[in-house]
Amino acid sequence: MSITSNADLSGMQAVSEAVGIALRKMREYASPGMSAKELDEYGGSLLNEMGAKSAPKLTYGFPGWTCISVNNEVAHGIPTGNKILKEGDLVNIDVSAELNGYWGDNGGSFVLGNDIHNHNPLVNASKLILQKAINEIRGGVKIADVGHLIESTAKKMGYRVIRNLVGHGVGRSLHEEPKEIPNYYDRTNKNRFRKNSVVAIETFISTRASFAYDMGDGWTLVTNDGSFVAQHEHTIIVTDGQPVILTASNQIWD
């Protein structure tokens, strides 16, 4: 969507703050021995307290309030009761929601407790690459050029990107134009970022794999070679200068 009124701006600020707060508090609440379902129920209660509705549940009938992916799961992980979080796990939480007709989306990967498996370099690379990408986004910038920046920076740091998971427009629904904001250079993509548009920018930085595949449950995506993947995501407003980061309340860069 494009921000065309104060009502649009305040609506996007409200839903983005809600999903950002939920993500931050879920990250703080997570602890070894807890099930993903317990963490998800906490996230669902946070959204409910803020008057927001889970976007994946509302839009797709997803079996959870939020997506919680652990270790080799890349995205859309189902928060089940038998998925028990352990010390050193690579955990990703993706929180998206609707509030008063507006939709916000954000996510972040983190290491639970002590980094006994050395996942933090991957997590930190994903954070840095997202920051570099967002800093380059302005009205008129080619989407392909930002994809090239993400991919080339990842390569310089010894990583790859997941090519079939992408950022997207957001606002009046969960996925809007532009439908795809890739993490790689696509020379056929001639689209440019538009001033005042709202987009969800996300990284999927991988230790080896370039694609994610359905695990077989209809939701969870995994790599086929045991790679680990870190994801970080902000909802932003594109401007003529530095973008407005609507989901700053998630504190994924802190």
Asked whether residue 234 is marked as a ligand-binding residue, the answer is no
Asked whether residue 175 is marked as a ligand-binding residue, the answer is yes
Burial readout 166-196 (b: 16 or more C-beta within 10 A, e: otherwise) = bbbbbbeebbbebebbbbbbbeebeebbbeb
Asked whether residue 41 is marked as a ligand-binding residue, the answer is no
Nearest to 217 by CA among 58, 32, 62: 62
Nearest to 69 by CA among 185, 217, 191: 217
What's the burial of 239, exposed, middle or buried (CB within 10 Å: 0-12/13-18/19+)? middle
Asked whether residue 40 is marked as a ligand-binding residue, the answer is no
Q: Which ranges of 137-231 does DSSP label H, i.e. alpha helix?
A: 143-156
Asked whether residue 148 is marked as a ligand-binding residue, the answer is no
Q: Do the Cβ atoms of 205 and 125 come closer than 8 Å?
A: yes
Asked whether residue 176 is marked as a ligand-binding residue, the answer is no
Other residues' Cβ atoms within 10 Å of the Cβ of residue 136? 13
Asked whether residue 214 is marked as a ligand-binding residue, the answer is no
Name the binding residues for a divalent metal cation: 94, 105, 168, 202, 233
Annotated binding site: 76, 94, 105, 168, 175, 202, 233
Residues in binding site for substrate:
76, 175
